[in-house]
Amino acid sequence: MKDEYGIRRTGFIIFWVYMVLLFCVQGASAARIKDLAAIKGIRSNQLSGYGLVVGLNGTGDKDKVSFTRQALANMMEKMNIYVDQSALKVKNVAAAMVTASIPPFARIGDNIDITVSSLGDAKSLKGGILLLTPLKGVDGQVYALAQGPVTLAIPAGTGDRDSHLLVARGINGASIEREIPFKLDGKKNLVLSLFRPDFTTARRMSDTINSALGQDIAKTVDASAIHLKVPETMWKKNVAEFIADIERLSVIPDTIAKVVINEKTGTVVIGSDVTISSVAIAHGDLAVTINQEDGTEKKEKVMNLPGTSTIGELVRGLNSLGVEPRDLISILQSIKAAGALQAEIEII
């Protein structure tokens, strides 16, 4: 029992030492601006369309799904085949909603991935073929055409109940037929939008851009936006190069002190900027072992942590108590309630 506890405690200490080193390395690392922000207005757009998946091995919609029969009858009429809708059997056909995301600056003929989701009561889309499906944007215009085989992610075969059989993917399953117009050349002003709004990070970005490309190019608007003034020599036909020059610049992003807790799994992630004020900790039967000068050992139930303790001091102190992740959750929440933890606690 003692050996098992020692192994578990040693593994816990190694895990936290690794996390401390990881945070220390990441805390001082810089990131490219393209990984922290994007030009406002340059984004992907969502497309969707109604389609039919055929060729299913009896796993399609039941006959009571009227819209599948109706869609199949309409498709056959376009091929000059007139049938009685009520006489159609659709067990090998499934109605589906097809969705896709068209990236910015996509050109005619480019291929994009699609997601095919069952709309009726089909059992599985395995082995199906999606018939030609127009994909429309919110403006009602057709921007892509989807067609072809769809595949499922089934790690253990069709008998695996953990697999989801009613959603399939089509890799490069749609081709772009209409481009979304977005003209860069001629723009004299741009807005750089941060993925994670932060005043300090935004200021650092502005300073970095101005230092690298010249003063008065970037101006911090708020925590999430930086106004960019395109130089006169570039706004007529070199705006793309101007954006590329900005994206490759590196900035050290600032982060708030945060502790993220997942109570379901017992996972605790502590940011490198987390500090605590003076506090004494006692938790259950856990005790600190202190080696005295005469060679004897003394066990204390309470551990004192000095003010402005860093993450490393906190981890070392809690490790001395033999604290495991689930105990650590309770301790951190108690320290926060006592007002001694200078960090935000987020429970997911």
For residue 215, the SS3 value is coil
Q: In this structure, what token pair is assigned to residue 137?
A: 């944007």
Tell me the C-alpha to C-alpha distance, in Å, between residue 80 and each of 76, 89, 193. Answer: 7, 19, 53
Q: For residues 141 and 256, what is the distance between their CA atoms, to the nearest angstrom?
A: 44
Q: What are phi and psi of 52, to 5 degrees?
A: -120, 135
Which of 125, 128, 98 lies closest to 113 in space, CA to CA? 98
Instruction: Kindly state the percentage of the chain with pLDDT values over 90.
Output: 37
Q: What is the mean pLDDT of residues 211-227?
A: 90
Q: What is the pLDDT of residue 229?
A: 92
Average pLDDT of the chain to the nearest whole number: 80
DSSP state of 151: B
Instruction: Kindly state the percentage of the chain with pLDDT values over 70.
Output: 76
Residue 288 has pLDDT above 50, yes or no: no
Q: What is the mean pLDDT of residues 49-57?
A: 94
Q: How many CA atoms lie within 13 Å of 305's alpha carbon, on the beta-carbon side?
A: 26
Q: Is the pTM of this model over 0.85?
A: no
Q: What is the mean pLDDT of residues 1-14?
A: 44
Q: What is the pLDDT of residue 134?
A: 96
Q: How confident is the model at residue 332 (pLDDT cuts 50, 70, 90)?
A: confident
Q: What is the pLDDT of residue 296?
A: 57
Q: How confident is the model at residue 93 (pLDDT cuts 50, 70, 90)?
A: very high
Task: Read off the pLDDT of residues 151-203 as tens digits, 9 standing for 90 and up.
Answer: 986 655 555 555 678 999 999 999 999 998 888 878 889 999 999 999 999 99
DSSP state of 103: P
Cβ pair 128, 53 in contact under 8 A: yes
DSSP state of 187: -
Q: For residues 198 and 220, what is the distance between their CA atoms, to the nearest angstrom?
A: 11
Max mean pLDDT among 47-56, 65-74, 234-243 falls in 47-56
Q: For residues 327 and 348, what is the distance between their CA atoms, to the nearest angstrom?
A: 17
Cβ pair 332, 345 in contact under 8 A: yes
Q: For residues 14 and 6, what is the distance between their CA atoms, to the nearest angstrom?
A: 12
Residue 255 has pLDDT above 90, yes or no: no
Q: What is the pLDDT of residue 13?
A: 43
Q: What is the pLDDT of residue 208?
A: 93
Least reliable range by pLDDT among 82-96, 164-178, 220-234, 276-290: 276-290
Task: Read off the pLDDT of residues 115-134 as tens digits, 9 standing for 90 and up.
Answer: 999 998 899 998 899 999 99
Fold topology of 32-42+183-251: Gyrase A; domain 2 (3.30.1360)
Q: For residues 181 and 40, what is the distance between their CA atoms, to the nearest angstrom?
A: 15
In our burial notation (b when 16+ CB lie closer than 10 A, e otherwise), range 64-76 reads ebeebbebbbeee
Q: What is the pLDDT of residue 302?
A: 60
For residue 256, the SS3 value is coil
- Domain residue extents for the chain: 2-28+256-347, 32-42+183-251, 46-176
Question: Distance between terminal CA atoms of the chain?
Answer: 33
Q: For residues 215 and 209, what is the distance between their CA atoms, to the nearest angstrom?
A: 8
